Amino acid sequence: MGNVTIKLLAERLNVSTATISKALCDSHEISEQTKQKVLELARELNYIPNAYASSLRRNRSQTIAVLIPEVADSFFSLALNGIEEVALQRGYHTLIYMTHEKLEREKAILKELSGGRVDGVIMSVTAETDSFEHIHNFSRQLPVVFFDRVCPDLNTAKITTNDFECGYLATKHLIEAGCRKIVLLAVSNSLSIMSERSMGFNKAIKDFDLNENDCRIVYCGEDAVYNYQLIKELMQGTNRPDGILATVEKLTTEIYLACNHLSINIPRQVKVVCFSNQASAVILNPSLTTITQPAFEMGKTAATALLKALKNNSLVLAEESMVIPSALNIRSSTSVAVQTY
Amino acid sequence: MGNVTIKLLAERLNVSTATISKALCDSHEISEQTKQKVLELARELNYIPNAYASSLRRNRSQTIAVLIPEVADSFFSLALNGIEEVALQRGYHTLIYMTHEKLEREKAILKELSGGRVDGVIMSVTAETDSFEHIHNFSRQLPVVFFDRVCPDLNTAKITTNDFECGYLATKHLIEAGCRKIVLLAVSNSLSIMSERSMGFNKAIKDFDLNENDCRIVYCGEDAVYNYQLIKELMQGTNRPDGILATVEKLTTEIYLACNHLSINIPRQVKVVCFSNQASAVILNPSLTTITQPAFEMGKTAATALLKALKNNSLVLAEESMVIPSALNIRSSTSVAVQTY
DNA sequence: AAAATTTACGTAAACGATTAAGTTAACTGT
DNA sequence: ACAGTTAACTTAATCGTTTACGTAAATTTT
């Protein structure tokens, strides 16, 4: 559609395309006069640089990719928000890919991206990701920053939260609230965050001398109905827990529904803590005690680290790793005295 | 870093780059033998096409952009999910931009995108968008599909839900539950969805002969604290409403908190309906009556419409417009008999 | 068997921007 | 005044693919 290019500007002003190009990026080789003229004409004709021509030539796409398991989760939504904010502000574009917890998707996406479509990647691995060769290979070509769910044996920036401590703290909180039979609900045994949280959980169980047979880890799945059944069975079993520590936000609904259906009172009969960033935690009945992760901050930090590396043309940026602490928000779902709100 | 390109493949096989290129896209001009050889070598050397070279040459980026106000909202999250699903499946990439309800951002992003970075755009306008010239101009260059918040006077595909009816239905439901003083909480007076919902609201008020002075529209803002105060004042005012219809999900928290703080019982003293896709609606206290929009479906439909247009090189695709109905989920926040769950 | 067509390639010019290297002309210092 | 420098450009190659067009051999047609 006869787009206005650098060539057209050059013809109109009787200069070379080189001059236009340099004028547009404010090169010192160009006089102020010509710069003015170029800028003016560019504005007049509404010149917009062709991103692909530029990317091809400079081998820089000004684009980053974000790989997350899903977006229908407050944590990832907020993190994406943080990432996009920093990226846009620095003139970068953000490609979004959802792996839906499928390792195959992760592999396929990374492979395609290594063609040069992006300058770098920010990712949180899938729950299935138990081998890391594909990520290793990829990271030799392009900078990768991990957030939350990291790839352990890779020497790059990892933006995480204090999962171990939170696992410990949440468990300790449950114990101090009187729980003796605590179940940790997990979703994967390969995820870094899961093992961290579990280790914190286990340590608390030991430190406080709880019966290790009463305190176990139960693995949930991706399907809400399945999880609902699982939790119901758990709560109907012979050794019913009096404390639940859920490691993913989406289990909240299933826990509340299951307990409600079985007429098990939270927090009287079972106390609940959830790793969750849901705004609605505060208006649940009872309001939910949560570990809230600094999702937005983590996203911003990850993006900042990546863009810094891009600026410096460096691949490895392990020193940019950061642990941003989460917060334990104590609410009614773990209160000792019975109350509704 | 010495990437493997078509040129390299050509040298290795002693053919021209044209042959490689054609072989890779399975052209009939190339013999099966050579195709095999090319494919094999490509796999062996892990050839990945350079997206930008291809985009530049073909003037096609295989990329779409999604402009949404925010992602920390169940509706937009789910819609994005649907869009990305369709896009990925068809080999398209998805750029995400959040406007944060700022018209200026919307303008700036669209301007940059018109440089050719994407083949088309799927968007939901900001709450500030009250003039549409920038969108008009843009849509002359690239295909645009709207979802949810549409640009009224533009002849293109619009994927919406039955906002008018839902406004009517929700209001009717409140009236039938006994409400006589209903307030609609809005966030903008320019948004298509808001006017649709308000019109439905107003029609129901008229149809059922409610006092129009007792039933009004109150405009909320972007700030949660401000909204909380606003709702508290509303509930403390002389003419306290006995029914609230909230048009955006995020107001739920403020409504519940305000009522809780003022010890106003939902649903006994005030009944609440919310346009919301939050999964937690069902576990709130009381569980929340919602209008849930078919967010994921809308996203998928919007993406499908756009990709269809891209295939046909068409700009206008008004005939792809679609209205996918929302559902009214009646729960305890509007029940006549008092109950907690 | 000559002409026409098809098959299977190769040549080279794009796409639009960037940039190393070259070219003037003007200016600087001694 | 003359070598050396600087300012302000231009030329042309380049990024990696795609594709219109050219071509030679093989095949088919008549």
Residue B1 forms part of a structural domain: no
Do residues B106 and B207 share a domain?
A: no
Q: What is the dihedral of CA B128, B134, B136, B138, to 10 degrees?
A: -120
Query: Are A152 and A31 part of one and the same domain?
Result: no
Pairing of strands A327-329, A289-292: antiparallel
Residue type, B281: A
**Within a domain: B305:** yes
Task: Compare CB distances from B280 to A66, A252, A260 and report the shortest one's residue.
Answer: A252
Question: pLDDT digit string (tens) for A27-69?
Answer: 999 999 999 999 999 999 999 999 999 999 999 999 999 999 9
Interface residue A45 vs chain B (CB under 8 A): no
Contact B96 A97 (CB under 8 A): no
Three-state DSSP state, A166: helix
Query: Residue B256: helix, strand or coil by DSSP?
Result: helix
pLDDT reported for residue B338:
53
In a shared domain, residues B147 and B181: no
Distance of CA A63 to the CA centre of its chain: 18
For residues B274 and B250, give the distance between their C-alpha atoms in angstroms, rounded to a whole number: 9
Same domain, B15 and B71: no
Q: In the prediction, which pLDDT does B316 show?
A: 63
CA distance A264 to A262: 5
Q: Is the pLDDT of residue A338 over 80?
A: no
Looking at the fold, whether A280 and A300 belong to one and the same domain comes out as no
**How many other CB atoms sit within 10 Å of the CB of residue B312?**
10
Q: Any chain A CB within 8 A of the CB of B85?
A: yes
Give me A19's structure tokens: 């001059």
A174 and A279 share one domain: yes
Is residue B118 located within the same domain as residue B185?
no
Q: Indicate whether A309 and A320 sit together in one domain.
A: yes
Distance CA B290, CA A229 (A): 25
* Whole-angstrom distance, CA of residue B186 vs CA of residue B247: 6
For residue B89, give the chain A residue with the closest CA. Answer: A105
For chain B, residues with pLDDT lower than 50 are 1, 339-341
Measured between alpha carbons, how far is B40 from A341 in angstroms, rounded to an integer? Answer: 65
Q: How far is CA B191 from CA A147, B187, B198, in A?
A: 36, 9, 11
Cβ proximity of A302 and A83 under 8 Å:
yes
pLDDT at B100: 95
Indicate whether B341 belongs to any domain.
no
pLDDT of residue B192: 93
Please state the rounded mean pLDDT for residues A244-266: 96
Domain presence at residue B336 = no
Which runs of consecutive H residues, i.e. helices, occur in A14-132? 17-24, 32-44, 51-58, 74-89, 103-113
* Residues B81, A100: Cα–Cα separation, whole Å: 10
Give the CATH number for residue A227: 3.40.50.2300
pLDDT level of residue A318 (50, 70, 90 thresholds): confident
Range(s) of the domain holding residue B185:
163-292
pLDDT at residue A316, as a whole number: 63
CA distance B33 to chain A (A): 26
SS (H, E, C) A189-246: CCCHHHHHHHHHHHHHHHHCCCCCCCCEEEECCCCHHHHHHHHHHHHHCCCCCCEEEE
HSE (CB half, 13 Å, CA atoms) of B61?
A: 25
Q: What is the pLDDT of residues A285-302, one digit of tens each?
A: 899 999 999 999 999 999
Q: Do B180 and B199 fall into the same domain?
A: yes
* Cα–Cα separations (whole angstroms), residue A293 to A16, B78, B193: 54, 21, 33
- On the question of pLDDT at A340 being above 60, the answer is no
What is the domain count for chain A? 3
Rounded distance in angstroms from the CA atom of residue B29 to the C1' atom of nucleotide C2: 27
* Residue A49 to residue B115, Cβ atoms within 8 A: yes
**Nearest Cα to A172, choosing from A30, A311, A289?**
A289
Taking the C-alpha atoms of residue A329 and residue A248, their distance in angstroms, rounded to an integer, is 15
Which of A77, A81, A256 faces B283 most closely, judged by CB atoms? A256
Q: What are the tens digits of pLDDT across the range B186-225?
A: 998 899 999 999 999 999 999 999 998 999 999 999 999 9
Evaluate whether A71 touches A77 at the Cβ level (below 8 Å): yes
Contact A51 B116 (CB under 8 A): yes
In a domain, A331, yes or no: no
Q: What is the pLDDT of residue A160?
A: 97
Flag whether A332 is in a domain.
no
B266 and B167 in a common domain: yes
Summarised one tens digit per residue, pLDDT across range A81-136 is 999 999 999 999 999 999 999 999 999 999 999 888 999 999 999 999 999 999 99
The CA-to-CA distance between both ends of chain A, in Å, stands at 62
Inter-chain touch B81–A94, beta carbons under 8 Å: no
Distance A156 CA to D13 C1' (A): 37
The verdict on residue A340 lying in a domain is no
> CA of A39 and C1' of C17: distance in angstroms?
16
CB-based burial, A258-280: b 16+ in 10 Å, e otherwise: bbbeeebebbeebbbbbbbbbbb
Query: ∠A37-A40-A44 over CA atoms, to 5°?
Result: 135
Amino acid at B25: C
* Alpha carbon distance B300, B78 (integer Å): 10
Residue B201, min C-alpha distance to chain A (Å): 26
Q: Identify any residues that bridge with B95 across adjacent strands, giving them in sequence order.
A: A95, B65
Instruction: Please give the DSSP secondary-structure letter assigned to residue B241.
Output: -
Q: Is residue B333 part of a domain?
A: no
Claim to verify: residue A195 and residue A254 sit in the same structural domain:
yes
Alpha helices in chain B (DSSP H): 6-13, 17-24, 32-44, 51-58, 74-89, 103-113, 133-141, 163-176, 192-207, 224-236, 251-261, 295-312
The three-point CA angle A98-A100-A101 to 5° equals: 120
* A212 and A141 part of one domain: no
Closest by CA position to A286, among listed A303, A266, A271 = A266
Give the C-alpha separation, B294 to B10, whole Å: 50
Mean pLDDT of chain A: 94
Asked whether the beta carbons of A168 and A157 are under 8 A apart, the reply is no
**Which protein residue has its CA closest to C1' of C10?**
B16
- Is the pTM higher than 0.85? The answer reads yes
Query: So what's the pLDDT on residue B189?
Result: 86
